[in-house]
């Protein structure tokens, strides 16, 4: 879910670095709702310097205590399914991480590693934040659970992808496949953009919950049009992740707010690896979700006998409320705290603290089936009400865009010199805005 260009700013400049050295600069100009600017950073000099630059962008590793948590576990023995646009396990950071996969769209390859759909880079970026191995000591993108195993489940979203199955059917099949193939956790950085979901998802998600699988979903990004949290993040029992900025404040654009939020994690100034091995800086709860999914993997690794309900409870009970009464619509139960999640004494629970999908189905689906025939009874006269919101047409997308992910980035200029950082400004034509910062090694 790459966050669209901030709607509250027309220009943003980024200058930061250790020892006073510039790490890069980005100018993001929002000309209209259909235009976005992207910035490429070119670093000249030794490859080691480039590698340090990439790892330095992962501020959450130290700021949230992941590097300390790794003294306890790095996620070994846990299998995580990434239901997304495909994960290229051949990039340096993901070599050895992807142990299985499949394609449910009819467009990809049987191993789920060929990018498909309108946003082919998305799945690999998500996977890197979750279980990236890095490219050496202190270099490359490393995930929050760098020793967890990945299952790549490729899905193709968008209006005209040519997928053999509907978006909803792909998700239902993907969830079942992940469960049947040993997933302990499932990451879903995607949304229907509406809170409702099809009945086929009832069965698929119940299947996951009955097999003790934790499902993590991204909340969405207000800045790109996802004004409300949408399914699967609204499904009871799902661990929904909101986003915060580098100062741990709720993100205005790279997050959505709602009562189904469970926890919050970084969603701004993230770094990702693309299927071609290059790196980008990006925003969105599509990135916050795998950061949290990695923490779930750490908990499952350290406490292999804990069921899903108690894994979730351990995560939310140890979260930092960030000064809020919990649960809040901004942070849920709070900011994730990896060290506390692994080391604290947490009481046992008998049920998923995030709700029961089984109870929801009993209450809501049965009510739909057993609704009386209103034509057979006299109806009272009532004041005219606002028309109901339209139900979803089943279009499912990867955040941040609604209804389509298509975008074009057109390079305009590139100026490079020895020992300097050069910026490439591009204008993208899209239904929504998108910003990335590409880091290129030279």
With a CB cutoff of 8 Å and minimum separation 6, the contacts of 370 are none
Single out the catalytic residue among 122, 168, 256, 283: 122
Q: How many CB atoms lie within 10 A of CB 340?
A: 17
16 is catalytic: no
CA–CA gap between residue 229 and residue 78 (Å, rounded): 28
CA–CA gap between residue 331 and residue 159 (Å, rounded): 32
Are 406 and 435 in contact, with CB atoms under 8 Å apart?
Answer: no
Q: Which two tokens stand for residue 82?
A: 């990434």
3-state SS assignment for residue 163 = coil
Single out the catalytic residue among 4, 50, 84, 269: 84
CA–CA gap between residue 204 and residue 206 (Å, rounded): 5
Q: Which residues does residue 397 pair with via DSSP β-bridges, in sequence order?
A: 191
122 is catalytic: yes
Give Dmax (Cα) for the chain: 82
* Chain-centroid distance, C-alpha 125: 9
Are 4 and 378 in contact, with CB atoms under 8 Å apart?
Answer: no
3-state SS assignment for residue 363 = helix
3-state SS assignment for residue 366 = helix
Single out the catalytic residue among 189, 286, 301, 328: 286
CA–CA gap between residue 297 and residue 342 (Å, rounded): 11
Q: Which two tokens stand for residue 274?
A: 């693309």
**CA-to-CA dists, residue 274 to 210, 281, 304, 423, angstroms:** 34, 10, 32, 19
Burial of 44 (0-12, 13-18, 19+ CB in 10 A): middle
168 is catalytic: no
Q: Indicate which residues carry an active-site annotation.
A: 84, 122, 286
């Amino acid at each position: 879910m790459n966050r669209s260009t901030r709607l509250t700013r027309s220009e943003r400049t980024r200058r930061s670095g250790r020892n006073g050295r510039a790490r890069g600069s980005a100018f993001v100009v929002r000309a209209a709702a259909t235009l976005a600017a992207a910035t490429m950073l070119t670093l000249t000099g030794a490859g080691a310097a480039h590698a340090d630059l990439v790892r330095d962008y992962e501020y959450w590793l130290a700021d949230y205590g992941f590097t300390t948590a790794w003294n306890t576990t790095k996620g070994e023995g846990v299998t995580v399914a990434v239901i997304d646009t495909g994960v290229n396990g051949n990039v340096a950071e993901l070599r050895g991480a992807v142990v299985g996969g499949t394609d449910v769209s009819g467009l990809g390859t049987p191993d789920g590693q060929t990018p498909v759909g309108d946003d082919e880079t998305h799945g690999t970026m998500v996977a890197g934040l979750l279980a990236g191995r890095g490219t050496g000591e202190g270099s490359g993108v490393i995930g929050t659970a760098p020793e967890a195993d990945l299952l790549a489940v490729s899905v193709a979203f968008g209006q005209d992808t040519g997928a053999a199955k509907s978006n909803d059917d792909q998700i239902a099949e993907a969830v079942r496949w992940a469960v049947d193939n040993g997933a302990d956790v499932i990451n879903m950085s995607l949304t229907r953009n509406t809170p409702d979901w099809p009945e086929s998802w009832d069965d698929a998600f119940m299947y996951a919950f009955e097999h003790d699988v934790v499902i993590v979903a991204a909340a969405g990004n207000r800045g790109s049009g996802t004004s409300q949290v949408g399914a699967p993040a609204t499904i009871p029992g799902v661990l929904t992740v909101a986003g915060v900025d580098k100062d741990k404040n709720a993100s205005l654009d790279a997050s959505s707010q709602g009562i189904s939020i469970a926890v919050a994690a970084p969603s701004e100034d993230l770094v990702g690896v693309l299927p071609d091995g290059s790196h980008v800086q990006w925003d969105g709860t599509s990135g916050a979700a795998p950061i949290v999914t990695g923490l779930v993997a750490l908990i499952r690794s350290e406490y292999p006998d804990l069921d899903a309900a108690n894994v979730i409870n351990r995560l939310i009970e140890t979260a930092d409320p960030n000064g809020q009464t919990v649960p809040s619509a901004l942070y849920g139960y709070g900011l994730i705290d990896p060290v506390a999640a692994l080391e604290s004494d947490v009481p046992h629970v008998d049920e998923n603290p995030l709700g029961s999908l089984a109870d929801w189905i009993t209450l809501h689906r049965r009510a739909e089936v057993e609704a009386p025939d209103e034509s057979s009874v006299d109806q009272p006269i009532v004041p005219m009400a606002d028309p109901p919101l339209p139900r979803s047409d089943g279009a499912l997308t990867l955040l941040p865009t609604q209804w389509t992910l298509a975008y074009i980035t057109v390079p305009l200029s590139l100026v490079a010199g020895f020992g300097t950082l050069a910026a490439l400004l591009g204008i993208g034509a899209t239904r929504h805005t998108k910003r990335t910062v590409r880091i290129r090694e030279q």
